[in-house]
Amino acid sequence: MSVKSSLRGYFEMGGLTLECRLFGLASLIRVAILKVWSESFVIWVKHKGLSKMLLPFLMALTQSSCTNMVLVEGSLPTPLVEKIPARLGVYYSEEFKSYQYKENLPQFGAYEIDLGNQNLKFFRNLSGALFAEVLEIDSPELTSEQRSVLDAVFIPRIVEYGFLVPAMSTLSFHEVSIKYEIQLKDRYGKNLGRWSFVGYGKAEASRFGSGEAVGEATMLAIRDGGARIATEVAPAMATALKEAGIWQEKGLAK
């Protein structure tokens, strides 16, 4: 089984591979040992009568780690697909527009990954390529005025983000998976369908620093997610719109 299919499998199932679980267990053990050592060290310092002013500094040294600030950047291709003949309102939640992922990995440091801006840019390009007309809206519930001009509402969401660094996976590259969900509602709020899928990306460790590699892999995962929308989700949305009678075979009136 390829790395790609393996990663997609365990992220879609909401779990991790045995190897990653073992790594997580080992990390917890290391944290527990560090905690015991720290507590013993504090007792020793107190016993020796060292200044209390020194304790916070010494404890900070035992717990410090670097933070990798990752800003996701890169080119954003627009998929070439046949547009669905419908007018869609597109709702991006604040969480989606400013999505950040934070995780502290014992021994490897903390990661703060900002992918909201690039993710938003990509989905704006994507929605414009998928539908005949799109309008960004401030609420998933349409006003009476919006219902008079829009056929349905398109709502993307990031369900889960995950990444692996080489030391965690024993492979030579950084890996990222992003689980998305797309919901489609008619103009009155009735659910027409909900689709989940995973975008995958990887970046060679030898070509980038750790933070840069995670950023590159994240950008590729966003693109891969977009490709899956265009090739897998878009046909399903077109079918749902047609079955709901939201389909204009002869094109949209201007």
Q: Of 177, 211, 26, 42, which Cα lies nearest the Cα of 106?
A: 26
- Per-residue pLDDT, 36: 45
Asked if the model's pLDDT at residue 55 lies above 60, the reply is no
For the residues 146-175, what does the mean pLDDT come to? Answer: 87
- Per-residue pLDDT, 172: 77
- Per-residue pLDDT, 11: 36
CA distance 224 to 230: 10
Asked if the model's pLDDT at residue 56 lies above 50, the reply is yes
Amino acid letter, 216: E
Structure tokens at 52: 């209390």
CA distance 118 to 81: 21
pLDDT digits (tens, 9 = 90+) for 103-148: 887 666 778 888 888 889 999 999 999 999 999 999 999 999 999 9
CA distance 45 to 189: 64
User: What's phi and psi for 249, nearest 5 deg?
Assistant: -55, -35
The residue whose two tokens read 């299919």 is: 5
Q: Of 166, 149, 233, 221, which Cα lies nearest the Cα of 195?
A: 233
Fill in the DSSP letter of residue 14: T
Asked if the model's pLDDT at residue 12 lies above 80, the reply is no
Amino acid letter, 91: Y
Beta bridge partners of 90: 136, 154
CA distance 211 to 112: 9
